[in-house]
Amino acid sequence: MEVAGESIVLAPTPGYVLKSRVLESSSQTVVVSSKVFINVCQDPQVPQPPLAFDPAVVFPLIVDNKWEIPIIVSREKAVTDKKGQQSFCYDCCINDTCFRWCLIDSNLKSILNEWCMEAVEILYDIVLDRQYTMPKMMNKGELSATEIQRSDLTDTGLQKKLHDLKNNESLALIEEIRGGLKDNDLAGNIVLEAPVKRPLIEEIESTPKPKAQTSSAPQTQKPPTRVSNAVSFQSLQGKDYTFLVKIESNLPYNYAKLAYEGGHLIFESTCDQYKISPKLKIPVPAASEKFQSFYTDNTVYVFC
């Protein structure tokens, strides 16, 4: 890293690559359907969060938007894919210690990927497809020697501006969506809110089945998709929640129904196309009185 007055030039080390495509664009240069590559890279001078990573402590803070990894985003770069078609590339640089945290914890890595995509979207006025891939490469093209002001590395600089932009966007979307949707609370005392556009950690809700389109052509009925689930548990040291249930499932979240009944969490499907037979019943501590559920990366997190 070079220092010149109050400016700092990052010298990122390669990490891994995210590959996605543009779904919406207000940019003057990037068109819809363009391929996008995000280099997730590292530099020791990018700051760490004030609190070191501890899964039992940090994940509840992430849920409340009180902990995140600072990210420095590079300028937009035009690159070509394997077919020679024009694509776009961005570097998302984080602290090298934070990078190691994400290599150790796959859940944190998935959340970091979402943060990187959000940062690119906000700064460059595009919307990216969340069905991304991770090519077997450490970087796409050359990493940028991004020059930033030293003040941008503090909580009052660029990171605060990016955080404020996220909050402002989320508040506007919440008001817009709440105006057109009814609350879809699940049974018991698991209280849910209407979903926000592309949330990082999304609350499970019960969504009405989409109406089938009428057609004169004969319809071939697909066989039901078998749902596979894996459940794990973790003790927490937080003040509000002491226990975490993690359900990994291939059931689409808009067909998931979650309830509390007789000391058990009940996880089931609301769609005939996806079968969970019998219903998944998960015992939770008898003292549990408060619940909150979230969804990210095909995993349901239930704090109790």
Quick one: pLDDT at residue 169? Answer: 45
Quick one: pLDDT at residue 22? Answer: 95
Q: Is residue 2's pLDDT more than 50?
A: no
Instruction: List pLDDT tens digits, range 104-144.
Output: 888 899 999 999 999 999 899 999 998 899 999 999 999 99
Quick one: pLDDT at residue 166? Answer: 53
Instruction: List pLDDT tens digits, range 204-231.
Output: 544 444 454 555 555 666 777 888 888 8
| Mean of pLDDT over the chain | 76
Could you give the percent of the chain with pLDDT greater than 90? 32
Q: Is residue 171's pLDDT more than 50?
A: no
Query: What pairs with residue 93 in β-bridges?
Result: 41, 72
Quick one: pLDDT at residue 89? Answer: 97
Q: What is the 3-state secondary structure (H, E, C) of the chain?
A: CEEECCEEECCCEEEEEEEEEEEEECCCCCCCCCEEEEEEEECCCCCCCCCCCCHHHHHHHHHCCCCCCCCEECCCEEEECCCCCEEEEEEEEECHHHHHHHHHCHHHHHHHHHHHHHHHHHHHCEEECCCCECCCCCCCCCCCCCEEEHHHHCCCCHHHHHHHHHHHHHHHHHHHHHHHCCCCCCCCCECCCCCCCCCCCECCCCCCCCCCCCCCCCCCCCCCEECCEEEEEEECCCCCCCEEEEEEECCCHHHEEEEEECCEEEEEECCCCEECCCCEEEECCCCCCCEEEEEECCEEEEEC
Instruction: List pLDDT tens digits, range 245-254.
Output: 888 888 887 7
Q: Which domains does the chain have, with CATH numbers?
A: 2-174 (no CATH), 225-303 (2.60.40)
Q: Is residue 180's pLDDT more than 70?
A: no
Q: Is residue 291's pLDDT more than 60?
A: yes
Instruction: List pLDDT tens digits, range 140-162.
Output: 999 998 888 777 666 544 555 56
Task: Note the pTM of the prediction, 2 decimals.
Answer: 0.56
